[in-house]
């Protein structure tokens, strides 16, 4: 099932060192918008703490976003990690190019995000691990996206995840 995440958790801050070791993860591709930070803010203290924790295990964290490079550059400056803009998830081209550049072994890569139809589908297409964050930072999405959220909730209920 291309939309079903391998893993899920309430919030990315639940992802800890032991879990990363157990699952052989060395690279996290983390959705920025509405997963790591709310749309209209620049992030929080617990994100900084989590980045420190994860990076201390030798795991690399790279942001991914469908947003413009301007917003993504601000994020990079604030948190000191690389982030890929205009990813156009669920399309794979931008992230695929990055993984090639990194010579990353796909078994060791996970994508985390708040949306089945962008983040999880993208990860499934890439053949990497996928993790859905169940609590989006905020959900005031545009009206046209409400149907997508409703469908996502329906699928999660169907799978017994929510
Ligand atoms: Mg998102």
**Can you give the pLDDT at residue 145?**
76
Eight-state DSSP code of residue 37: B
**How many angstroms separate the alpha carbon of residue 2 from the centre of ligand 1?**
18
**How many angstroms separate the alpha carbon of residue 31 from the centre of ligand 1?**
6
- Mean pLDDT, range 37-60, rounded to an integer: 86
- Mean pLDDT, range 63-83, rounded to an integer: 93
pLDDT single digits (tens) 62-72 = 999 999 889 89
**How many angstroms separate the alpha carbon of residue 17 from the centre of ligand 1?**
23
**How many angstroms separate the alpha carbon of residue 100 from the centre of ligand 1?**
23
pLDDT single digits (tens) 114-127 = 999 999 999 999 99
> 146: part of which helix (H) or strand (E)?
helix 143-158
* Rounded Cα distance, 63 and 9, in Å: 18
Ion ligand 1 — residues with CB under 5 Å?
A: 31, 33-35, 114
* Rounded Cα distance, 51 and 12, in Å: 10
Residue 93 has pLDDT above 90, yes or no: yes
CATH topology of domain 7-158: Rossmann fold (3.40.50)
Q: Under DSSP, is residue 151 helix (H, G, I), strand (E, B) or coil?
A: helix
Averaged pLDDT of the chain: 92
**How many angstroms separate the alpha carbon of residue 110 from the centre of ligand 1?**
15
- Mean pLDDT, range 66-79, rounded to an integer: 91
Q: Which of 33-37, 134-138, 146-150 has the highest mean pLDDT?
A: 33-37
**Can you give the pLDDT at residue 135?**
85
Eight-state DSSP code of residue 33: B
**How many angstroms separate the alpha carbon of residue 53 from the centre of ligand 1?**
22
Q: Which long-range contacts (CB under 8 A, 24 or more apart) does 49-54 make?
A: 49/13, 50/12, 50/13, 50/15, 51/79, 51/81, 53/16, 53/17, 54/15, 54/17, 54/20, 54/28
**How many angstroms separate the alpha carbon of residue 57 from the centre of ligand 1?**
25
Residue 52 has pLDDT above 80, yes or no: yes
**How many angstroms separate the alpha carbon of residue 139 from the centre of ligand 1?**
10
Spatial contact of 35 and 136, defined as CB atoms under 8 Å apart = yes
Is the pTM value of this prediction over 0.85? yes
**Can you give the pLDDT at residue 42?**
59
Spans of all domains in the chain: 7-158
């Amino acid at each position: 099932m291309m939309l079903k995440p391998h893993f899920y958790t309430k919030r990315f801050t639940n992802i800890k060192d032991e879990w990363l070791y157990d699952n052989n993860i060395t690279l996290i591709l983390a959705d920025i918008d509405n997963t790591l930070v709310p749309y209209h803010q620049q992030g929080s203290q617990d994100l900084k703490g989590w980045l420190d924790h994860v990076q201390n295990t030798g795991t690399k964290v790279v942001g991914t976003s469908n947003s413009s490079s301007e917003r993504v550059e601000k994020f990079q400056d604030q948190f000191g990690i690389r982030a890929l803009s205009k990813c156009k998830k669920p399309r794979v081209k931008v992230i695929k190019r990055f993984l090639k550049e990194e010579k990353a072994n796909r078994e060791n890569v996970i994508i985390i995000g708040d949306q089945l139809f962008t983040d999880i589908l993208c990860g499934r297409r890439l053949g990497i691990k996928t993790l859905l964050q169940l609590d989006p930072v905020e959900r005031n999405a545009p009206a046209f996206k409400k149907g997508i959220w409703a469908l996502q909730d329906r699928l999660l209920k169907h799978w017994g995840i929510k």
